[in-house]
Amino acid sequence: MRIYSIVLIIFALGVGMVCAQQEISPLTATNALQEMIVKMPTAVNPRIRLAMLFATNGNSARALEVLEQAQEVIGRSNTTLLYTTGVVYLRDYKFFEALSNFKSVTTIDSNHFGALCNTGYISLIYLREPESALLFFKRAQMFTTNNAEIYNYIGSAYIEIGTYDEAQSYFSNALTIAPENADYRFNRGMTYYLMHQYDRAREEWNAVLSKNPEYEAAKQAITMLSQEKSKE
């Protein structure tokens, strides 16, 4: 059972988000962005937004083509282009290509928050290297304050390492900031379970289901706990 939930950190889509709010079609948005690129060929933002528009509409190949063209025009050391290329690869489950781009970003800018977080994400979820992931998450934490998702990242790494009391502390910090977040509460319940505090684990998972009755992981966790209790 997956015992934590974390998400990718990506740049906002800018024009793409505005188009969605104004109910502009993807084709209209694409044409508008392409016109902007013609008028401002060395501008980064229109190319980023066009690439992410393609990516979010399921055309990763076209997104990567746009980003490759942008690097040819703007340069291959632009961290925004490198980072966005990594995000597109990650959305397409091409983890090693994504990691290569994120590492290129941190080589240029060792404090790049998104690249640090996503490198940690890949290290934790796909490479199964929680110690390495923890280092990236802890470094990212230095550049933000009261970020619940970073606390959740760090707690998740501590769960994999097996330091459950540290994990519980970080999930509690996340819940202090975002008390209604079901993932953070589920995760804290898992730390109680792993520390054999079964009643507290059940309380957390029941609290999750009281507000999110379709939260499948909490249902499975309570069933698992009940089955273990019946064997005692």
**What topology does CATH give the domain 13-92?**
1.25.40
For position 232, what pLDDT does the model report? 61
* Contact residues for 134 (Cβ-Cβ < 8 A; gap 6+): 120, 154, 157, 158, 161
Question: Phi and psi for 178 in degrees, rounded to 5?
Answer: -130, 75
Return the SS3 of 111. coil
- pLDDT band at 173; cut points 50, 70, 90: very high
Q: Average pLDDT, stretch 138-143?
A: 93
pLDDT exceeds 60 at position 134: yes
Question: Residue 120: its pLDDT value, please?
Answer: 94
Cβ contact 218:226 at 8 Å: no
Report pLDDT for 231: 65
Q: Which residue has the higher pLDDT, 172 or 75?
A: 172
Above pLDDT 70, what percent of the chain? Answer: 88
Q: Residue 122: what pLDDT?
A: 93
Distances (CA, A) of 76 to 13, 89, 206, 217: 21, 17, 50, 42
What pLDDT is recorded for position 2?
47
pLDDT at 118 over 60: yes
Burial class of residue 221, CB neighbours in 10 A (0-12, 13-18, 19+):
buried
- Please report, rounded to a whole number, the percentage of residues in the chain having pLDDT higher than 90: 59
Residue for token pair 């980064």: 44
Show me where the domains of the chain are located.
13-92
pTM above 0.85, yes or no: no
DSSP reduced 3-state for 105: helix
Q: What is the pLDDT of residue 18?
A: 36
pLDDT confidence band for 106 (50 / 70 / 90): very high
What pLDDT, on the 0 to 100 scale, is given for residue 24?
Answer: 58
Long-range contacts of 222-230 (CB under 8 A, 24+ apart): 224/1, 225/193, 225/198, 225/201, 229/198
Position 23 scores a pLDDT of 53
Residue 212 class from Cβ within 10 Å (0-12 exposed, 13-18 middle, 19+ buried)? middle
